[in-house]
Amino acid sequence: MGAGHAHKLYRHAHSPVHELPPHTKLAAVLGFVVVVVSTPREAVWAFGLYAVLLAAVAAKARVPAGFLLKRLLIEIPFVAFALLMPFVVPGQQTTVLGVSLSVPGLWGAWNVLAKGTLGVAASVLLASTTELRALLLGLQRLKLPPLLVQIASFMIRYGDVITDEMRRMSVARRSRGFEAKGVRHWGVLAKSAGALFIRSYERGERVHLAMVSRGYAGTMPVIDEVTATRAQWARAAALPLTALLICLLGRTL
């Protein structure tokens, strides 16, 4: 979650993608992923084109391929799941290198891998080109309930503070010679979690006091607004619209 202004995935740079207003990017990514998900899995070439599209955006945003690929690792658990499918799904069998595999299972695995990977890649591109705060403003602009956006922004503002407290407690535990090794140490860890909750909740109360002391009555005053021009919307829409075109081709061919 990094330090407030920038989070871990964010890569500071000046590119046409970085400069797009956040809500246009959010809408574009969501649109893109929806299109990807609704593409029939038999249209293998379409997924290839989607990947090319994302690669083009990444190049434009100056996000290095290595960074993007590394981030895809988050998918690994689902890769494992997908790899199991050809072995367990019943149906027509085919033999690859002497191993009997299920055809629907292979299709299933391909479907999960292709769509999941494209989804993660699109999200990574969004997160790596948009500042945290901008993302929150974008969500607000996209009519996410303001209260939800506020909760999210407090979570972001204090995520580091709480994580730091957790780290300090861990250091304090270890300084007194405690090393969590197994089930019998759960009690100690749970006590830490309990203490962390109390601290978090009490900080929440203090933050609230500081807010109401300055006139907060349930709504955040509007200080910054993000706006997008028609041209910016058009540029952001290029990604999902091209994808839609590919998808429609994939459905007809």
Partner 1 sequence: MHVPDGFINAPVSAAAGVVAAGAVAVSLRGARRELDERTAPLAGLVAAFIFAVQMLNFPVAAGTSGHLLGGALAAILVGPWTGVLCIAVVLLMQGILFADGGLTALGVNITVMGVVTVVVAYALFRGLVLVLPRTRRSVTVASFAAALVSVPAAAAAFTLLYAVGGTTDVPLSKVLTAMVGVHVLIGIGEAVITMLTVGAVVAVRPDLVYGARGLTAPLKLRVGGELVDAAPAAPATAPAGSPKKLWIGGLVTALVLAGFVSFYASASPDGLEKVAADKGIDSKVEDHAAADSPLADYGVKGVEAPRLSGGLAGVIGVGATLAVGTGAFWVVRRRRTHSETAA
Partner 2 sequence: MTTPPPSLEVHGLAYAYPDGHQALFGVDLTVGRGERVALLGPNGAGKTTLVLHLNGILTGGAGGVTVAGLPVGKKHLAEIRRKVGIVFQDPDDQLFMPTVREDVAFGPAAAGVRGAELEAVVRKALDRVGMGAYADRPPHHLSFGQRRRVAVATVLAMEPEILVLDEPSSNLDPASRRELADILRSLDVTVLMVTHDLPYALELCPRAVVLSEGVIAADGRTGDILGDEELMARHRLELPFGFVPGSVA
CA distance 189 to 174: 12
- Give the shortest CB-232-to-partner 1 separation in angstroms: 20
Which residue, 30, 63, 39, is CA-closest to 239? 30
- Min. distance of Cβ 231 from partner 1 in angstroms? 25
At residue 142, the 3 state secondary structure works out as: coil
Q: Is 6 exposed, middle or buried (0-12, 13-18, 19+ CB in 10 A)?
A: middle
Task: Say which entry of partner 2, partner 1, none residue 178 contacts (CB below 5 to 8 A, set by partner kind).
Answer: none
Does the protein bind partner 2 through residue 225 (CB under 8 A)? no
Residues binding partner 2: number (CB under 8 A): 25
Query: 102 vs 235, which CB is nearer to partner 1?
Result: 102
Burial string for 188-204 (b: 16+ CB within 10 Å, else e) reads eeeebeeeeeeeeeeee
Cβ 90 vs Cβ 102: under 8 Å: yes
CB of 4 to partner 2, least distance (A): 4
Contacts 24+ apart (CB under 8 A), 41-47: 41/107, 41/110, 41/111, 41/114, 41/115, 42/107, 43/249, 43/250, 43/251, 43/253, 44/110, 45/250, 46/246, 46/247, 46/249, 46/250, 47/114, 47/115, 47/118
Q: Token match 């839609």: residue?
A: 244
Look at residue 74 and give the partner it binds from partner 2, partner 1, none, a contact being a CB closer than 5 to 8 Å depending on partner kind.
Answer: partner 1
Going residue by residue from 161 to 200, which x/- string records binding to partner 1, judged by CB under 8 A?
A: xxx--xx------------xxxx-xxx-xxxxxxxxxx-x
Q: C-beta of 164: minimal distance to partner 1 in Å?
A: 9
Looking at beta carbons only, is 144 or 156 nearer to partner 2?
Answer: 156
Q: What is the C-alpha separation between 33 and 21, in angstroms, rounded? A: 19
Judged by CB under 8 A, does residue 4 bind partner 1? Answer: no
Give yes or no for residue 211 binding partner 1 (CB under 8 A): yes
Interface residues for partner 2 in 154-213 (CB under 8 A)? 154, 157, 160-161, 203, 206-207, 209-213
Q: Is 221 in the site for partner 2 (CB under 8 A)?
A: yes
Which helix or strand (DSSP H or E) is residue 169 part of?
helix 146-175
Among partner 2, partner 1, none, what does residue 234 contact (CB within 5–8 Å per kind)?
none
| Footprint on residues 35-94 left by partner 1 (CB under 8 A) | 36-38, 41, 71, 73-78, 80-81, 84-85, 88-91
In sequence order, the β-bridge partners of residue 99 are 96
Of 14 and 176, the one with the shorter C-beta distance to partner 2 is 14
Q: Which does 213 bind (CB under 5 to 8 A by kind): partner 1, partner 2, none?
A: partner 2
Q: Enumerate binding residues for partner 2 (CB under 8 A).
A: 3-5, 133, 153-154, 157, 160-161, 203, 206-207, 209-217, 221-224
